[in-house]
Amino acid sequence: MSFTITGTGSCLPAFTVQNDDFTKFVDTSDEWITTRTGIRRRHFIKDETLSQIAVEASQKALENAGLAAADMDLILCATLQGEDVSPSLACLVQAELGANCPAFDLNAGCSGFLYALHSAAAYFRAGMANHILIVCAEQLSRFLDWKDRSTCVLFGDGAGAVVLSRGDSLLTVRTGARGQRENLQVPGRNVSGPFWHDTEKSRSLLSMNGREIFKFAVTTVQNEIESAVKDAGLTADDVDYFLLHQANGRIIDSARTRLHQPEEKFPGNYEECGNTSAASIPLLLDELNRNHRLKKGDILLLCAFGAGLTWGSCIIRWEKN
């Protein structure tokens, strides 16, 4: 016994930034960004807070599942960092929803949703939960170096959520990591105070070796998809939809080409949202659900890669009507 997805929800900030908006302060163009990434616009938190969009996505998922916050046995929040170091974002969501269950954050970078699914599966298998809320909420705009044209144009803010209930829809789930910081990092703040020589406060800005991360992503996605379908006793042809981390259109196109699969099996939201880190796959899943593109019995393969370095894959049978 593992789980089935009974509800989905999402929330994007109202403030939208087009590619041309970046030309006012960095040497770039709409053509440069679109050609290399496929991204055309993204959403940034401006008038909302991270906890507000996380709560709205969670409320929509609960409503879609036909369940109340009081029914939840656990709230898992995947995020690079909540509004505060403490309390956790999951605890803020729990309080706002009025839930009465354990709640904690996990950080696996852009692979956070897959790590959360893997963790939830263990709770179900141990008989410790009947219903679990997973919410992935990211505010990458806080960490961007607005002088670095190679990174500041890539990311967006957003939140996606799912409600999981006991069931048998999970066919396989895998996660992995290879710890390193040189190719993708958001450093923490320096220690400051009377006992340290360095009292200068520093901002935590994202830095990335795009070439190396691209190679890592292409290889990882290919390997994970092949391993996941093998674990589930399937082939790529058996999969109805591949929901891949929405980091870059070229990475998704590379995976599709290598798998010899049609374009319609690879839905995307990167053009409208950019890379929303852990939120990208649940955002996409909610879009497909709300637009009635998923049919009962569809086989969904989820795959992500992220900072850490981390990766994960999952195959789920869609059982929701």
Q: Give me the active site residues, please.
A: 110, 245, 275
User: How far, in Å, are 162, 168, 199, 203, 297 from residue 194 at the CA level?
Assistant: 46, 56, 8, 20, 62
Distance (Å, rounded) from C-alpha 115 to C-alpha 175?
Answer: 6
CA distance readout (Å), 185 to 77, 151, 307: 21, 12, 7
Q: Of all helices (H) and strands (E), which one includes residue 205?
A: none
What is d(CA 269, CA 288) in angstroms, rounded to the nearest whole number? Answer: 10
Sign of the Cα torsion 25, 31, 34, 39 reads: positive
Q: What tokens appear for 318 in the block? A: 């869609």
In angstroms, the first-to-last Cα distance of the chain is 20
Q: Which of 106, 103, 81 is nearest to 94 (CA)?
A: 103
Helix segments in the chain, DSSP class H: 30-37, 50-65, 89-97, 112-125, 210-231, 249-259, 270-273, 280-290
Q: How many CA atoms lie within 13 A of 63 on its CB side?
A: 11
Q: Which two tokens stand for residue 317?
A: 């049978």
Distance, in Å, from the CA atom of 132 to the CA atom of 128, rounded to the nearest integer, reads 10
Which amino acid, 1? M
